[in-house]
Every structure is written in C-alpha cells, then in structure tokens.
Amino acid sequence: MPINYYIILAVALFSIGVAGVLTRRNAIIIFMCVELMLNAVNLLLVAFSKMHYNNVAAFNPFASIGTDAQVFVFFIMVVAAAEVSVGLAIIVMMYRNIHSVDVNFLNRLKH
C-alpha cells in the first residue's frame, strides 16, 4: 500500500488526539487522547520502516534497514506505559482532594 495512506491515517489519528487534549475536560479522556497521539506516531514509524525495507528488499532480502524504527516503537510504548502510571496516580490524588476529574479546577498556577 502506498505510504501516503499510512501518513494520512497517522496524521488523522494524531489530530484527533490533539483536538481531544485541547478540548476535553475529563482528565482520563485527555489521557486516552495522549495515548492516541503516541500510537499514531508508532503507526507512522512502523509504516516507514516497512517502506524503507521494501525499497531495499529487491536486492537484499536480509537487509536490516528500518529496524531502528521498530526498536524505537518499543521505547515509545515503554514511555507511554510509564507516563500513564504516573499520570493516573496524579489523577487519583486529584480526585481524592476535589472529588472531580475536571481539569478546569487546576488553575492554582495563577496565584
């Protein structure tokens, strides 16, 4: 499949994720959108890895081009996991204090 399809799909997913982070009020939804963004990037990395392999595979079926991208995907997944765990912990603390997960309550930076 042409690379363009993957790019458009990833960009769409990423934009949806950004739109969600900017507009949603519920903290958990925002987290889901952040995950969406990270996974969109993952998708893009894998797609490009495959593209680069395809360009070289005709000459050399054992080439290892594009593998670094796939490794990087794992890094991203690890980071995502760590970030979710820390973030959810913060949300739990927040809930315990104000009994709501509405981010508009987080305006203490003003003072």
Partner 1 sequence: MKSIIDYVYLVPLFPLIGFLINGLGRKQLSKSLSGMIGSGMVLASFVVSALIFNATRAEGDPITVRLFDFIQAGNLNIPFEFLVDRLSALFLMIITGVGFLIHLYSTAYMHEEEPHHFARYFAYLNLFVFSMLLLVLGANYLIMFIGWEGVGLCSYLLIGYWFKNKDYGNAARKAFVMNRIGDLGFLLGLFFIIQQFGSLTYGEVFSQAATMSSGATILTIITLLLFVGATGKSAQIPLYTWLPDAMAGPTPVSALIHAATMVTAGIYMIARSNILYTLAPVSQTVVAVIGLATAILAATIAIKQNDIKKVLAYSTVSQLGYMFLGLGVGAYTGAVFHVMTHAFFKALLFLGAGSVIHAMHHEQDIRKMGGLAKKLPITHITFLIGCIAIAGIPPFSGFFSKDEILIHAYGTNPLLYWIGLGGALLTAFYMFRLYAMTFKGSFRGTHEQEHHLHESPWQMTLPLIVLAFLAAVAGFVGIPELFAHDAHKLEHYLGPVFAESYKVQEAHQIDHSTEYMLLGVSITAILIAIVFAWTRYSKKPETGDATGFGKTLANKWYVDELYEAIISKPLNGLGAISNKFIEKSGIDGIVNGTGKTIQWGSRQLRLLQSGQVGTYVLWMVLGILLFFVLIIFI
Pick between residue 31 and residue 53 the one whose CB is nearest to partner 1: 31
- Rounded to a whole number of angstroms, the minimum distance from the CB of residue 37 to partner 1 is 11
> How far apart are alpha carbons 4 and 16 in whole angstroms?
18
- Rounded to a whole number of angstroms, the minimum distance from the CB of residue 22 to partner 1 is 5
Residue ranges binding partner 1 (CB under 8 A): 18, 21-22, 103-104, 106-111
> How far apart are alpha carbons 54 and 78 in whole angstroms?
27
Element (H, E) at 79: helix 67-98
Pick between residue 97 and residue 107 the one whose CB is nearest to partner 1: 107
- Rounded to a whole number of angstroms, the minimum distance from the CB of residue 13 to partner 1 is 16
Closest among 102, 90, 84, 81 to 27, alpha carbons compared: 102
